[in-house]
Amino acid sequence: MKIKQNIGMLDRIFRIGVFCIMGYFGFIEHTIVTDKVAEIILGVFGSIMLLTALVGNCPLYEVIGLNTCKNSSKETSNTCT
């Protein structure tokens, strides 16, 4: 089963950057965000951003019909260029 990619390279880089920030505040730095629940939420959402960047598919993009890949022809390929 192949997953159709709908996340382009710039979007992936942005998501990895967001993961770095959210992961840092959620898992490492505990002085700025002092609430444990908020730290867990930051860490989980950051991890989701990393996962979608690595896989190349965002389920929310599928629902709303958004595609940030340069290769937008849906019937020819499952990969981004």
In this predicted structure, what is the pLDDT of residue 37?
A: 95
Cβ neighbours of residue 10 closer than 8 Å, sequence gap 6 or more: 68
> Where exactly are the structural domains of the chain?
30-67
Give the burial string for 17-26 (b: 16+ CB within 10 Å, else e).
ebbeebbebb
Please count the helices (runs of H) and the strands (runs of E) in the chain: 3, 0
In this predicted structure, what is the pLDDT of residue 1?
A: 72
Cα-Cα-Cα-Cα dihedral of 16, 21, 51, 28, to 10°? Answer: 130
pLDDT digits (tens, 9 = 90+) for 3-28: 889 999 999 999 999 999 999 999 99
pLDDT digits (tens, 9 = 90+) for 27-70: 999 899 999 999 999 999 999 999 999 999 999 999 999 999 98
